[in-house]
Structure 1
């Protein structure tokens, strides 16, 4: 019977109004997650469970309000209240520690940064007008703001690295590169993906193509074979260096179709005769099933001019740039490799 008593005498929440209420207040979970990540709460639970009063003193927080935030997060498996007023880590909360391998804390702080949070709060404007409110809120476009604000840029690049590092080895293994080929990582940030490719494919050479201020923080020295890679400074809207394979990971989804086609066109002009362009992005599936790409798509919509794309969208985009999609490869991550070859 609908709304019959559930646990602890509460009505069973089958009424769709309850679901709508939960969805409408979902942003409070993200807010709580950001708060405890910013306060480094998980770092203070590495040695074991602690009373919330001790945690609050350690991180400089109000005990009652910290308890309330942790109590909400515990309902989704992030932290657990193993005794009244005492909290412990869970596998998800462990990743919020800043001192563990594979820490996801920087990614959480990036995804909940004001550069995403504030425009998302104005999504009604975006849906109504077709344009992002980012320029109005911050006085300039997204990447211009990053170029002028070193602190925000650091949040973005460190956060992207934290989000990408677990994916990069899997993406690298899914790629096929003949020995002695040159792989260009276009807009590759600090070089995490290219580093994984060079480790997985010892016969190839790599080129990290990025803006000068980003290249200064590159990680390719971790390879221990400096003769296998080069740094090239430039703007992918203006050019692409010569190469056999072009990796474009989480770049095209930042830009609209005209801008994305321009990036691909430069790759088409620079690629060798039998080379390939490899776009590593989400590919939105048809139907109503949940998909992470559908969520990220709204993040792009609110703060950037870009979007996530379907297979048909990629076919049209590649054709506009003089390329044809040859196949779409799974990677074992939330991203796929859309492979393109020069159109005949």
Structure 2
């Protein structure tokens, strides 16, 4: 596929770019190189070793020789690499050797909400192919990285089992990061009370293995829970919840179902929709939100929707060549989904109002972890019943 040439033959090139503009581009390139260092740091599991205590370069090399089955580890190259990791804020040096920084500790695979699975996912063939295929996606309008699959999850089923596990672990650890914040009601309604006061049920729609639902139930003993998922995920969720949350037995049910066809109504319920909307185009979102509005209409007064998404900022300007998390994720969604996208608050509000919701003033809270925003919506009593 031919890429257009901005300077046709016979047309003079523009004047030399100012140095500050060149440095800006260089910073973006360097950020990509630092991402490669981050991936290598995780692939080598250096954070797992340093979480046990400081280590010198030779000590880390000895550890790699045993644990990575790599008898030819080059100590000098390892220490050059660690120097860049130090510059990137992953480690620091003391008289005892290299130690993890606060940021570096998030890469320990045993850490709660570990960032390692997310880094490893970005290093899979599918994720790398998605970024490399952006020009083709833009020029054809089709996500070529899907290679004929109907969508991201269909494409994932065609990937190596190890990559599928990496993705599942990434999603699970990401849920861990936001679950405690939402479950403990760290946010408040504009009325000043916890959002779960006076509620009977929490219905998590498309909630994966159920971590967000389970943490919410643990923190609010008066609530009962419902998880709605497709068959394969629902079976995994039952196993996960039974193993990780045995104390919640009898307080939740896992419903096998297609959220686009039916969402089970429950009385006085909060409905959770976390990182679901961004997987779909506007038409599919409209169908899903109308299903939710219908269920909430049957739930009676007080039913609410907690929509959690990465919301595109009003000001798209980068700071020191760093993108807002929603911009980076938007490019991934464009490359790996059919219609999936991140949206700004106006676009989300439009989807919700068109489906029969209202957004009370100040009910968008951009203070969740990972740059996410919580939008709280209620049924519009003056809207026509959703069809």
Q: TM-score range by the shorter chain?
A: 0.7 to 0.9
Task: Give the TM-score of the pair, scaled to structure 1.
Answer: 0.86
- Of the structure 1 ranges 72-81 and 193-202, higher mean CA displacement relative to structure 2 is found in 72-81
**Greater gyration radius:** 2
Match of 1:6 in 2: none
Q: C-alpha offsets along residues 231-269 of structure 1, whole Å, 9 cap, x if unaligned?
A: 101122222121322100011111111122221111112
1:115-194 equivalence runs, <5 A: 115-136=126-147, 139-149=149-159, 150-172=161-183, 173=185, 174=187, 176-194=195-213
For residues 105-116 of structure 1, the aligned pairs below 5 Å read 105-116=116-127
Q: Which residue of 2 aligns with 1:246?
A: 271
Q: How does 1:198-213 map to 2 (within 5 A)?
A: 198-213=217-232
Secondary structure of the corresponding residue to residue 28 of structure 1: helix
CA distance in 2, matches of 1:121, 1:29: 18
The residue correspondences of 1:1-344 to structure 2 (distance < 5 A) are 15-45=20-50, 46-52=52-58, 53-58=61-66, 59-61=68-70, 62-63=73-74, 64-82=76-94, 87-136=98-147, 139-149=149-159, 150-172=161-183, 173=185, 174=187, 176-218=195-237, 219-221=240-242, 222=245, 224-243=247-266, 244-271=269-296, 272-274=299-301, 275-290=303-318, 291-304=324-337, 305-326=339-360, 327-333=363-369, 334-343=371-380, 344=382
Supply the distance in 1 between the matched residues of 2:203 and 2:346 (Cα, whole angstroms).
Answer: 25
Distance 1:98 1:122 in 2: 30
Q: Matched residue of 2:341: which SS?
A: coil
Per the TM alignment, residue 322 of structure 1 is displaced from its structure 2 partner at its CA by 2.6
Residues 48 and 109 in structure 2, CA contact (< 8 A), matched pair in contact too: yes
5+ residue gaps, structure 2:
1-17, 188-193, 319-323, 383-387
The alpha-carbon distance between structure 1 residues 245 and 289, as it changes in their structure 2 partners (threshold 3 A), is: same
Distance change (3 Å), C-alpha of 1:301 and 1:66: farther
* SS state at 2:203 partner: strand
Alignment length, in residue pairs? 330
Distance 1:145 1:242, change over 3 A: same
Tell me, which stretches of 5 or more residues in structure 1 are unaligned?
1-12
In 2, the alpha carbon distance for the partners of 1:278 and 1:100 equals: 27
Give the TM-score normalised by structure 2.
0.77
Contact kept, 8 Å, 1:189 with 1:210, in 2: the verdict is: yes
